[in-house]
Each structure stands twice: as structure tokens, then as C-alpha cells.
Structure 1
Amino acid sequence: MSTAVIIGGGISGLSAAYYLSKLLTVSSTFQKVILVEGSAHLGGWIKSKRYDDGTVYELGPRSIRPANKQGFNTLEMVEDLGLSSKVLPVLTDHVASNNRFIYVDGKLAMLPTPKALFRSSPLLNQSLASMLWKELFTKSIKVEDETADSFITRRFSKKAAMYLADPMCQGVFAGKSTELSARSCFSDVFKAEQEYGSIVKGMFKSARLKKDSAKSQLGMLAKQQRWTMWSLQDGLQTLSDSLTDTLSESEHIMVQSQEPCTALGFQNGKIVVETPNLKIEANHVFSALPAKDISKLLYPNHQDLAQILGRIQSCTVGVVNLEYKGRPVKTEGFGYLIPSSEKAKILGVVFDSCAFPQLDRNDGEYSRFSCLMGGAWFEELYGNADSVDPNTLLDVAVESMRNHLGVTVNPVRSNVTINKNCIPQYYVGHHNIVSSSRQYITQNRLPISLLGASYDGASINDCIYNARKEVEAVVGVKNTS
């Protein structure tokens, strides 16, 4: 019997199992699929803490974007899982879609938006239109890769790098724009300049050449209503919980939690997967572990591959959920980020209740906020993630709400989560690491696939879409997304 083993039960591993379960009826590649997860929790960093009074705290990701083929693919999955009625969309005219802030010089400054295209931005000392016009005529250069800071400075200005690229790198990757790769972190705009000589020109041309189409009714609705983001009733964990429930109903899929993979053995073109209680001979392994973790399992059989993958680092992010009585913050919007030049103790704050009031308490008026902390600066600010006192993070979060937003009252409820090594850092040259890893696998004919945020995109959409692509490639089914 041909067997596939998935190592890791985060969103990538669950998605791989989900797509394999759908393809088992049209392909004879595998008759059995076993997913092994080291912890009791399935869904990885997607964690929603639910209270009896209706409150939901997101301890990891808190919303999903519906744009592009990756976003539409996720909505197709959501519809297929029967979750359409549970989707909480945020439309383009919502205040959370339009009001996004940067905290600079002791106050909130609104980021420029397309709606205010010709309005001068105090942050940039120019309008968004003039900045884009200047970029259109800025000379391009051919580079294999460079930092996000260098790229945005070169194409726009140093102010744009400080107040746009820098906080964006913190908000998406919790990392430093002076270290992260423009090619890997912002692939669309980097590719636009390299292929067309200008970001503006490239984005216009690519938009005309390629229009991502939604194949599901939910995706078409998202396009029609112009969603900017969405969540689910009871939080994003509803998605991973639904995937888990669906897989448990499949006679071909076995899900084993609390079974960490302890060893991989390579023999006769197969891989022996070992856990504390299992020893499985697999025809193919889909690794949905972080690169650092799978690299340790590849020693001593494939030291070169292990060393390559070991170069992909990750950072730790603290999430402090704060809940207040009433509406202590008068400013409305998605939230704010803080440029690294401000030397703050937090990365930013998300105004959770503004975008998703449906996840607030159902017995009165309360407001939820999420304070994001650490990232690439975690050890510098708070020390070792294993030994830091959660109360330290809570105190910093409450103090930041007081200093930045003028919140003088104490929260009525809070929660501190330390997500250790949760976000991969795509440093300059990351694409070469990924390419070299897959080249080694191909040359040595290893029956293994690399999935997850460590490689081709860290968002939930990326993880789901890339799992689908890899599963279809291994099974030999033409990509249908």
C-alpha cells in the first residue's frame, strides 16, 4: 500500500492532507495518508481563545486578505468546508480598511491611501500621486536581490523606506527592513521593476495581462463586494478546526496529534518516519515543519541539505490581548505600527473591535486590542523567550496603550501569548536557499516535499495555496487553481 506522511499539523500540513483527501478519488498515487503533529493543537499558529461571553482573542493571525489567486483559493476551501455563512467580511469602504496609522513623534499619522491620491502626506512630504509619478521615471537597475530598505529608498525615497517599508516589514514579518529581502518579501513589486523598469509600469501591465478569477461563489462575492479582509465566527481557528473535523471523517486519512517526528530514515527510495509510538514506511513525505526543525531530522543522512535549510531563521512575537470596558480609544481604524526609528518597546497595536465587532462580548460594550511585541528585537528587549515573564509583556502593553493612545483605565481582561520562532525571516538571498534546497531534493531523488511558511510566503493564503500546488504536482494532477 502506497503511503504519504505529512509531518506537522499547522495550516500547511492540514491543507496538504485536505487536498490529498480530495485527490485520492481521482489518483492512485497514495492509498493512505498519515499526518503526525507533535503537539495536541492542530492549526499551528492559528489559535483563537474563546470565552463563554462571546469574546474571541486571536493569539496568532487575526485576519485574511481575499486578494489574488492565493486569496481566492482560500475562499474556495472555506466554501467547500461549508463555512460561507460564518465569514465576517470587511469591505473596502469600512473605516478599518481605510484608516491605518504610523506612530511617529508621539502621535498617530495616517498612511496615505488611493482615495487620497493627490493629498499631501505629512509622513512623506508629498502626495502618493507625486511619489508614484517620480517612481515611473526613476532609472531601474538589475539586481538579483537587495534589502527592502534599499529597494524602497532607491525606487521612492528614504522617507518612504522609513515610514512605509520599515513598518510594513514589522507588520508582516516582524522583521527589519534593513535585513529582509525585497525579492522574497515583496516579490510582485520587485519583479515589476526588474521586468518592466518601473514598479508603477509593471503593476499596470501585469494587471492587464493577468486578472485573477474567483472560481467559488464566495470568491466572486468577495470581488463583487470588494472585501479587504475577513475572519470567521468564533475566530480564525474555525478554519483549522473545520479542516481537522473534515479529515477525521475520511477513511483514507489518519491524523495523529502528540506524535512529534523524532527521526527520518532513508532506504530503498522510501523514508521511514519515526515518532515516540509510530514507525511508518512512507513512499513520500510532505514536511510542513519549520525549516530549522526539518533540518535537524535530515542529519546525518543529508547533511548538505540540512545545512542549507538551517540557514532559514525565525523570530518570536509576543501577542498581548487587551480588553477594555467601553470605547477608551476614540480613533477608529485597523491599528498602527511603529517605525524602528522610534525605538519603541512594541511593534504596533491592532484595533480588533473596529474590524470585527462580532467577536466582542455579547453582554455590553467592550473593546479588544492586540499589542504585537518583539519580533526581530525580542531578545534585545525581553531576553530569552523561554524565560521571559509574561507579566513583563503585559505591563509594557498597558503602558504603551496609555502613552500612545491616552488610555488611562486598566483592561478588564487580558491574555499574553509568546509565539516562539513563529515568523520566518526571508533575508537577502532567501530565494537561493529555497532553490538550492529543492535542487538537492531533485538531484538526489528524495521523496520529500517542503511546505510551510519557511519557503514561499508566510501568510495563511500562501501556506494553503503552496500546499495545494505541491500536492497536485506530486500526485500528478494539473494545477486547477
Structure 2
Amino acid sequence: MKKAAVVGGGMAGLAAAYYLQRAAEAAGRPLQVVLFESDRRLGGKVRSVQSGPYRLEGGPDAVVRYKPWFLDLVRELGLEGEVVGTTPAKPAALIFKGGRGYPLPEGLNVVIPSRLGPLVRTPLLSPAGKLRAALDLFLPRGPEGDEPFGAFVQRRLGREVWENLAAPLTGGIYGGDPYELSTLAAFPMLKELEARSRSLILGSLRAMRRRRGSREGGSLFASLQGGLGRVVEALTRAADRVDWRLGAPVERLEYGEGRWQLFGPWGTEGFDALVLAVPARVAGELLEPLDAELAAPLREIPYGDTATVTLAFDRGRFPEVVGHGILVAAGEGTRARGFTWLSRKWAGRAPDGKLLVRAYFSGAGAELDEKGLVDAARSDLERILGPIPDHEAVWTYRWKAGMPQYTVGHLDRVRRIEAARSRWPGLELIGAAYRGVGLPEVVRDGRDAAARTLDHLAREP
């Protein structure tokens, strides 16, 4: 019987193991799949917690509907009936700027205004800032090739749109310094929009007319009634023939005679195929003794820290809030990137009369210890809302080097990685470091790697 190893039990590795077993069974090919995870739990940053009457997320709390791969998996697992959308709210979110919260303008396509009315009316931009943004309607196309996302947005729409709209929105998704993001890697559709339509605003207007759902309608984001961790539970049940090895780190690799040999404190074992679903730097450390040319670009992908702090309050004593949360504009001096009113965004997350508030930290802000994070969350909340009561409970989750940074040149690094990887039969590299940081992208990564792995095993004698 052929054997395939998956190293890493985050969502990418879980998806790879599940799709490997499913595809092998559908093809009638005997295959033993073994997943190695150094932690004692599966799911990586997907961590749904039920604590007394509260239900919260330690990591991501939603997926976007227009990227279908995660919700496709949910349907395959029989969980479609548990899918929920955000509660209706208008405005859905605020931007904190200059000591006040302002509604996020309606009709944003990713981070680009696609309607002139909300752009003209928003107090987030000065009259001069609005005129500068409107120049996008007349500016010529920019140069081809990659550029920092902050430079791209400012070139098209000006500094105020960047600082007060694009930076807080993208900082909450990618962490780190949003200015340094690779436009081609993180937002290729916007470069394509500029190339195709010249004006981002005109191109976004056409795109929004074609897209179903809207940010304000509450249908853009989805989760599950029991939290995203329900998918982890269902995956492990559905992939019932996978050999789950928890607390089993892989410390060394060897390759010879068409087989991969894995070594760890648990012993050694050989496999016909290997899927590395670990952070890029870890993959680089494992592969360095075998292929320095492959390890080098893996180690070049930078990572940043992230953290979340969730606080429970008596809703009657907490200041009045609207929408689902508030993001912080660039240069406001807060540690937190923003806050989500978790129990207002999702139904059933807290008892009546209680409010769950989640703070998100990334970059330097996430380097604080747990007490520092809680103190920073409370301090920033009071700066935004005024005095707040004592919290009744708190949950803190820190993800050291938890977020890959798609800096300029990211696509070139991935191309170098793929070119070098192709020299190693049966090796796959998947996860948030390569082709998208969201849960839909890593699920797609795992599914595609499983298909390629099965094809490789079918060709090998």
C-alpha cells in the first residue's frame, strides 16, 4: 500500500489529508495517509472556544463568500445547514479617525470606492482628499509590474484614501505594515482592474454591479453556528482512515530511492509522497540539508505576530456601539488594529445583556505579553469610546510569527519555490505562505495538492 505524509495540522494540512483519502477511495486506490502535528490539537489558528455561555474565536472568525472553496468543503462535510451570515447592520463598520468614529462608505470593492455618492459624502476625507480621489477618473494607467500597495493606492486615489480607508481595511486582513504589501500578490484584481478599465472607480462600479451581496447587506461574510472550529471537528470525523499523529513533530527529512524518510522524537517512517503544510520558514529548515536553493526563498518570506483579546462586558454598563466593529485609521496611535463587537456581528455568541468585544493586534502591537495585550485593548477602547466598565471575562490568544507577509516580490519568490520544488518527486508545499492567507485559499491549496499527490502516486511503480 502506498503511503503519503502530511506535515502540519492547520487548515491546509487537514484539507490535504481529507481530500487525499476521499480521492483515493473514489479512485479505488489503497492509500495510507498519516498527518503529523507537533501540537496536541488540530486546526492551527482556527480555534473556536465555548466558555460557559460565551462562544468565541481565537483566530479567524469568518470567511468571505465570494471565494467558494471553504464553503464548498462545508457542504461536502454536511454542515451547510449550520452556515450563518453576519447580523444585519448599517453601517457595518466604522473608521476611527481624529477622535471620532465615521461610517465606512458604502459600496467598497475590496478597498476601492465604487460609488461616487458615498465617496463625496464621507467625512473621512477632506474636500481636497475627495478631489484627489476623483482624479482617478482621469489618470492614465500606471506601470506594469509589482509595487507596494500603499504606493499603488496613493498613486491612484491619494494619501487620504490610503490612510483613512485602505490602510485600516488591509491592515486588519494581512497584519504587519499594509503599505509594504505586494499589490500583485495581495490584490492582483486591482492591478487587473487598472489595466482593463484604467480608472479604479469606474472599473469597481462595473464589478460591483456584477457581484452578488454587499458589505452593508451582511451577506459578504459567513461562519458556522458553532464557530469555524466545527469544520475541524467534521474533517477529522470524515477523514476517518487518516492516521492522526498529535504531539509528533517532524525534525528531519531524507530522500532516496523515490521515498521520503521522516524523523522525529517518535521515531522514523518512510513515505511515497510528502505534503509540507507548515510555515515557510519551517519548511525551509527541513529542506535546507537537501536543497539550499529551495530553502532560500522559503526563508525569505517574512512573518509577523498576531494576537486577539476577547473581553466580556455587561452590555447595560458599556457605551453604546453601532454596527459590527470599528477599525483604526493610520496614524491614530493605538496598539489595536480594530475592534469587533463579536456578539453583535454573530447571533448566539453571548447571553442577552452581555457584549463580547474582540481586539485584533498585529505587528509590533502583538509582541506584548498577555497582560500587556489586555491593558492595551482596554486603553484603546477607552480612547475610542470613553470610560468602560470592568470586564467580566477575558480570553487572549497569541500567534507568534503567525501571519506571512506578502511583501513586494512575493510572486517571484513563490515561482522560485515552485521551480525548485518540482525537482523533488512527490513533494508539495502548501499553506498561507504562498497563494493566499485566507481560509478559502488554504483549503483550495490542500485540495489541489491532494490531486497532484494522487497523480504522482499513480505514476510511480
Deviations 1:31-73 (A, max 9, x none): 11111111011000011221232x1121111111111xx3x22
- Percent identical residues: 24
Letter in 2 for 1:89: G
The superposition leaves residues 400-452 of structure 1 with CA deviations (integer Å, 9 ceiling, x where unpaired) of 2222112421111111221111111111101111010001112x234211111
Q: CA deviation at 1:265?
A: 0.6
Residues 183-209 of structure 1: per-residue CA shift (max 9 Å, x gap): 11112112222355343455577789x
Asked if 2 retains the 8 angstrom alpha-carbon contact of 1:48 and 1:237, the reply is: yes
Does residue 107 in structure 1 map to residue 100 in structure 2?
yes
Residue 36 of structure 1 aligns with an amino acid whose one-letter code is F
- Which of residues 339, 348, 364 in structure 2 aligns to 1:349? 339
Decide whether the 8 Å contact of 1:180 with 1:425 is kept in 2: yes
SS at match of 2:322: coil
Whether the 8 Å contact between 2:319 and 2:388 is mirrored in structure 1 is no
Q: Check conservation: 2:48, 2:57, Cα contact below 8 A.
A: yes
Q: 1:77 aligns with which of 73, 78, 82?
A: 73
Q: Distance in 2 between matches of 1:127 and 1:473?
A: 53
CA distance in 2, matches of 1:244, 1:117: 48
Task: Summarize the Cα distance change of 1:370–1:126 in structure 2 as closer, same or farther, 3 Å threshold.
Answer: same
* Residue of structure 1 equivalent to 2:359: 371
SS of alignment partner, residue 60 of structure 1: coil
Is 1:326 aligned to residue 315 of structure 2?
Answer: yes
Secondary structure of the residue that 1:420 maps to in structure 2? strand
The answer on 1:275 being equivalent to 2:264 is yes
CA distance in structure 2 between the aligned counterparts of 1:172 and 1:394, rounded to whole angstroms: 21
Q: TM-score normalized by structure 1?
A: 0.86
Contact 1:325 1:365 in 2 (8 A): yes
Q: Secondary structure at the match of 1:310?
A: helix
What's the offset of the Cα at 1:128? 11
* Residue of structure 2 equivalent to 1:470: 449
AA aligned to 2:330 is S
1:50 alignment partner, SS class: strand
Using the alignment, how far apart are the partners of 1:350 and 1:206 within structure 2?
Answer: 28
CA distance in 1, matches of 2:104, 2:206: 26
Shift of 1:154: 0.9
SS of the residue 1:295 aligns to = helix
Equivalent AA in structure 2 for residue 185 of structure 1: A
SS in 2 for 1:301: coil
Tell me the distance in 2 between the aligned counterparts of 1:18 and 1:43. Answer: 13
The alpha-carbon distance between structure 1 residues 415 and 205, as it changes in their structure 2 partners (threshold 3 A), is closer
Contact 1:176/1:376 (<8 A) preserved: no
Is the aligned partner of 1:450 residue 2:429? Answer: yes
1:322-378 Cα deviation digits (max 9, x unpaired): 0001241322112112133112122111110111131113xx410001011242554
Unmatched 5+ stretches in structure 2: 109-114, 457-461
Query: Residues 136 and 270 from structure 1, CA distance in 2 versus in 1: closer, same or farther, beyond 3 angstroms?
Result: farther
Deviations 1:193-243 (A, max 9, x none): 2355343455577789x989xxxxxxxx99xx9722122222211111111
Written as runs of structure 1 = structure 2, the 5 A alignment for 1:37-436 is: 37-53=37-53, 55-67=54-66, 70=67, 72-90=68-86, 94-95=88-89, 98-114=91-107, 117-119=116-118, 120-125=121-126, 134-200=135-201, 202=203, 227-247=219-239, 249=240, 251=241, 253-327=242-316, 328-361=318-351, 364-379=352-367, 382=368, 388=369, 390-436=370-416
Shift of 1:281: 1.6
Contact conserved, 1:45 with 1:61, CA < 8 A, in 2?
Answer: yes
Q: Root-mean-square deviation (CA), in Å?
A: 2.7
Q: Is the 8 A contact 2:305 2:399 kept in 1?
A: yes
Q: Distance in 1 between matches of 2:24 and 2:414?
A: 28
| 8 Å contact from structure 2 (residues 133, 161) kept in 1 | no
The answer to whether structure 1 residue 19 and structure 2 residue 19 are counterparts is yes
TM (normalized to structure 2)?
0.89
CA distance in 2, matches of 1:265, 1:21: 24
Alignment-derived partner of residue 459 in structure 2: none
